[in-house]
Amino acid sequence: MKTLAAKTVAAFLLSSSPYLSTSVPRIFLALFLLSASGCAGYQLGNRSLYPSDIRTVYVPMFESDSFRPFLGERLTEAVCKEIELRTPYKVVSSPNADSVLSGRIGNDTKRVIVENEFDDAREVELNLQVQVTWADRKGGLIQQGTMPVASAVADLGQSAELVPEYGESVATAQQRAIERLAEQIVSLMEMPW
């Protein structure tokens, strides 16, 4: 369906105009404008990136197999904020939502990358491993375009480095890794191209 503006411009160009002396360039220009307006069916914004049959997402507290306290709570909060920020979905507190996004922090490690001559850590790497499941209300597949995303587990990992000499701590490095994981998790919710 051609837009009204393209039709109006084409009608103007086909009418007599002092700027175009022959009718052949006017016809080609009008055809070009009409064919170029065929792209008007594309959508802008983030609504076209996500399945349209889902409106609400329930995100239960991420479980954590880590001995570090509050990692699951912090990741859940970051994922909820990222969903509200980047998607058209509304995060709700009821399990009766259109879909459920759940996850488990399976592994977190901390390893020293660089030491000084006194065995003090100069650079440390933190790794978080997360398993994520996105299912509809009945626990089935969530269809995204022609490619279904199974309600099976998707493994994600993220690392963050910290340098104690710059005043960084394990908590700040964990928060960076958690924010990056939240971005990855929400990116999984997009439809494939």
Instruction: Show the domain range for 27.
Output: 4-41
Is this prediction's pTM over 0.75? no
Is residue 9 located within the same domain as residue 92? no
Is residue 106 located within the same domain as residue 92? yes
For residue 1, the model assigns a pLDDT of 44
Would you say residue 91 has pLDDT above 50?
yes
Domain count for the chain: 2
CATH number at residue 90: 3.30.160.150
Residue 9 lies in a domain: yes
Is residue 91 located within the same domain as residue 171? yes
Is residue 32 located within the same domain as residue 121? no
Is residue 104 located within the same domain as residue 156? yes
Per-residue pLDDT band at 158 (split at 50, 70, 90): confident
How is 126-185 classified by DSSP, letter by letter?
Answer: EEEEEEEEEEETTS-PEEETTEEEPSS-EEEEEEEEE-GGGT--HHHHHHHHHHHHHHHH
Residue 138 lies in a domain: yes
